[in-house]
Amino acid sequence: MPINLELPKKLRVTVDQAHQAAAEIFRPISRKYDLREHDYPVELDTLASLFDGLSEAGAAGAGADGGRKTATKERPEGVIANGGNMQSVVNAIEASWGDVGLMLSIPYQGLGNSAIAAVASDEQLEHFGKVWASMAITEPGFGSDSAAVSTTATRDGDDYIINGEKIFVSAGARADHVVVWATVDKSLGRAAIKSFLVPRDHPGVTVERLEHKLGIKASDTAAIRFENCRVSSDHLLGSPEVDTKKGFGGVMQTFDNTRPLVAAMAIGITRAALEELRAQLTDAGVEIDYDKPISTQTGAAAEFLRLESDFESAYLLTLRAAWMADNKLPNSKEASMSKAKAGRTVVDATTKAVELTGTLGYSERLLLEKWARDSKILDIFEGTQQIQQLIIARRVLDKSSAELK
């Protein structure tokens, strides 16, 4: 199935609107909330109302059901779609160009919402599609090895009782619901890991603390404890059956949705940093010439051209992963490729931008140093650089997780 790399007209409108919000709302308050960690950005309530209106109007990409609107609609064979996944990606690029921490704080647009879209049944999606959900996976005992989940969900009649602790939960104190990964039977291994949607103010749910972080300070990051937290069985997202043949594939579908989104966040910051870097180099008299070999240009110009080529590669990989999801094509490898490339590129680009602009880049007079701090998490959460490369290798070599560790 061919892919056209030019964005369709309907998405250009989305890009223009998202960029306007980033330029007029996010950028002006970016430094303010970087310096006031854990303060809620009240300016985002306006955006929340906008997204709610888009959702009511049936726009893809607004709310938890955004990524499913196109995917579940039957289309004639051969018809190509650009739906909720692509719209979410281009939105994330533009919003993160403004400020990625603020982007992660937009009400009703949490990573948990993408998780709901990935694994919830149609009935659950209709019931839970309007919540604001964070996503709780990481625990004190593990980071990237999601199969090591030790939080338990014990069946008790028509309910499940959840016990465990989750850390580094983005929007964990602000979102009204939490998507929790827990095992329903430790003896059955990875296949028994399920995701549950739990109201944050539910009995047995305690926000233990908020983390102080290197970057994305506008986004709250919480540690949450679940102690004899009882939820009804309909809060288990997707099928309750434990399929040992399918293994870990069910809940891992979540990452096929969220990894291109994280890649999009990285692309937004990378573009912002390269735009600022180019402006500063131009002011300093550095010429960047696309018609001359890199070897004949200054070191600063050659470095900029290298970073720009990496940016283009990450951008195209991310569009491909989102496009495949919209067109019902398996995209696990492509999702990891986009996340790996974009995560590595944004750290490289923002760090080099600080270096090449010297003392100005290291100061708070520009946002470059902030973008360098914000960028590191994008190469870590939703699976580290090393985990992405491992997943890609498994897909390319056709090896299972047991065969290639």
Q: What is the DSSP letter of 142?
A: B
Catalytic member of 139, 165, 308, 382: 382
Backbone CA torsion sign across 100, 218, 109, 337: positive
SS3 state of residue 5: coil
CA angle, 195 then 196 then 200, to 5°? 130
DSSP one-letter string for 288-349? --TTS-GGGS-HHHHHHHHHHHHHHHHHHHHHHHHHHHHTT---HHHHHHHHHHHHHHHHHH
Query: CB–CB of 100/273 below 8 Å?
Result: no
CB neighbour list of residue 375: distance below 8 Å, 6 or more residues apart? 215, 266, 269, 270, 346, 347, 349, 350, 351
208 catalytic? Reply is: no
Structure tokens at 360: 């100005």
Helix (H, G, I), strand (E, B) or coil at 22: helix
Residues labelled as active-site residues: 382
